[in-house]
């Protein structure tokens, strides 16, 4: 993934030539800046990734809402594609499933859906900075399967 400064430079460069990408970059950079500001530090790669994921999530929700009202989602679908170009390559579903095996240590009595939050927290803590390499929707899916 590009650094914060590289993305700022790109944003400035495309300001007049690609207004859609400019707007997407603006949202990413603003989100990353706010995340880093909370912790009173410089913007790091994890902040950029977190901002991109947040924007993707918001855009997907907007698309679903618009679709439910039979509206035109083309603008949001274009934005979604642009946001996804700023995500680093994510691990595949098979790699995610393999990674999760080391976290699936509950005995049969503890394997119930009520422990979903506990298991997800355990996985997040164990992954640390590597968490940005995994799609948390896929992680949640496999944790649900494990607990069911």
* pLDDT digits 0-9 by tens, 9-39: 999 999 999 999 999 999 999 999 999 999 9
Provide DSSP, the chain. ---HHHHHHHHHHHTTT-HHHHHHHHHHHHHHHHHHHHTTS---HHHHHHHHHHHHHHHHHHHHHHHHTT---HHHHHHHHHHHHTSPPPPPHHHHHHHHGGG----GGG-SGGGHHHHHHHHHHHHGGGGGGS-HHHHHHHHHHHH-
Residue, of 117 and 129, whose pLDDT is higher? 117
The pTM of the full predicted model, rounded to 2 decimals, is 0.75
Cβ neighbours for 91, distance < 8 A, ≥ 6 positions apart: 99, 133, 134, 135
> Is residue 105's pLDDT more than 90?
no
Residue 83 CB burial class (10 angstroms; 0-12, 13-18, ≥19): buried
pLDDT 10s digits, 64-101: 999 999 999 999 999 999 999 998 888 899 999 999 99
Residue, of 104 and 28, whose pLDDT is higher? 28
CA dist 15 and 13 (Å) reads 6
Please tell me the predicted confidence (pLDDT) of residue 110.
82
pLDDT 10s digits, 50-59: 999 999 999 9
Please tell me the predicted confidence (pLDDT) of residue 136.
87
- For the CA atoms of the chain, what is the radius of gyration? 18
């Amino acid at each position: 993934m590009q650094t914060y400064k590289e993305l700022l430079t790109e944003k400035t460069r495309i300001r007049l030539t690609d207004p859609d990408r400019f707007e997407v970059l603006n949202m990413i950079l603003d989100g990353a800046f706010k995340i880093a500001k909370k912790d009173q530090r410089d913007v790091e790669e994890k902040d950029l990734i977190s901002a991109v994921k947040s924007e993707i999530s918001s855009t997907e929700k907007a698309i679903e809402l618009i679709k439910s009202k039979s509206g035109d989602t083309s603008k949001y679908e274009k934005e979604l594609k642009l946001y996804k170009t700023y995500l680093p390559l994510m691990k595949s579903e098979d790699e995610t499933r393999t990674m999760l095996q080391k976290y699936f240590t509950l005995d049969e009595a503890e394997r119930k859906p009520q422990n979903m939050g506990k298991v997800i927290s355990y996985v997040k803590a164990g992954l640390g900075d590597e968490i940005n390499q995994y799609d948390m929707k896929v992680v949640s899916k496999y944790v649900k399967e494990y607990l069911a």
